[in-house]
Amino acid sequence: MIKPHGADALNPLLVSDAAEHQALTEEAESLPSMLLSSAAAANAVMLGGGYFTPLDGYMNLDDALAVAKDMHTSSGLFWPVPVLNLTADIDGIENAKRIALRDPNVEGHPVIAVMTVSAIEKASDEQLDTITESVFGTLDSAHPGVNVFRNLGNHVVSGPIQVLNLSYFETDFPGTFKTAVDIRNEIKALGWSKVVAFQTRNPMHLAHEELCRMAMDRLGADGIVVHMLLGKLKAGDIPASVRDACIRKMVDVYFPQNTVMVNGYGFDMLYAGPREAVLHALFRQNMGATHLIVGRDHAGVGDFYGPFDAQTIFDEQVPEGALDIEIFKADHTAYSKKLNKVVMMREVEDHTPEDYVFLSGTKVREMLGNGIAPPPEFSRPEVAEILMNHYRSVA
């Protein structure tokens, strides 16, 4: 099986020993508390589940700047996006050596982790701008990831953590939310050696389904992990529970048994385009995938990135050997009316735009909201029905 990034074994920070967990829980009640941002809580979940192996906690300012500038920590570890715990308010924790980190996304703000504080540093606006522009490629506050990041605060609270729980993901998404440890164990149990990961924050329409088939067939893969983001998205995106239902229906009806795993992970979407694509590859390697599908505008938003910037970054900026996982580069896929099948557009000749079935996201939402199923060349009817029910419920 493919090795985790930068380590011989996964480094999940979730405390599994019952006695240690109990002792930490009791200790946390006597510690100064810090209410995390949703972004920092998501980082804790990813650290807890082993997805961010080999990290042992939140980065300090030097590491964050080094990662932003050249995708390496100050010690030389390849890493594409800073893993930070930023806050605007350090009242009560200024001189603390140990603190309890509280979950902003669960009622009552229970302790999600205990942290040994290595440093509390104040980042300048210039330093935060450097990180922002390097990671997101822009300082424009209209970018949803930039808007979130630049409102987290200037104080960098760094140090190793011990994770006590995985927030709301285990209870809200039972059977779907899985740690990197869980997925590695499932892959091993299935006997898969070549494994393709497909990242999604949307329901899968016919083109996505066929793209997964293309990747599996061309790579000779044993199976595919449809790995959906379960954390916070931007306004207007379809809720994770609806996406989960759509994807499971598609897999149940249209894929052979034991060829697809449907799982999810607890992270807030960054919309960081190329840099986030590299992060996606890194933690998919940690969960045991040998290949990641990177398609058009992977992890992008609006017009902030070129359509294939998330592919070229692997050729131009990721050093050779930095990651073991390989990238399956996909073109825009669409249904060809000439060939009566979904194709990668760069692979077919003698086609004009009129030869494809194209529907904008706005048009699809409008159709679904009006109880009209998109054409079968665009979406499976079973998937469209779930989406129509969702749009009717929120109308």
Q: Which residues are catalytic?
A: 201-202
Q: What is the 3-state secondary structure (H, E, C) of the chain?
A: CCCCCCCCCCCCCECCCHHHHHHHHHHHCCCCEEECCHHHHHHHHHHHCCCCCCCCEECCHHHHHHHHHHCECCCCCECCCCCCCEECCCCCCCCCCEEEEECCCCCCCCEEEEEECCEEEECCHHHHHHHHHHHHCCCCCCCHHHHHHCCCCCEEEEEEEEECCCCCHHHHCCCCECCHHHHHHHHHHHCCCCEEEEEECCCCCHHHHHHHHHHHHHHCCCEEEEEEECCCCCCCCCCHHHHHHHHHHHHHHHCCCCCEEEEEECCCCCCCHHHHHHHHHHHHHHHCCCEEEECCCCCCCCCCCCCCHHHHHHHHCCCCCCCCCEEEECCCEEEECCCCEEEEHHHCCCCCHHHEECCCHHHHHHHHHCCCCCCCCCCCHHHHHHHHHHHHHHC
Tokens 């199923």 belong to 373
* Residues ≥6 apart with Cβ < 8 Å to 59: 67, 73, 82, 83, 84, 156, 158
CA distance 169 to 103: 12
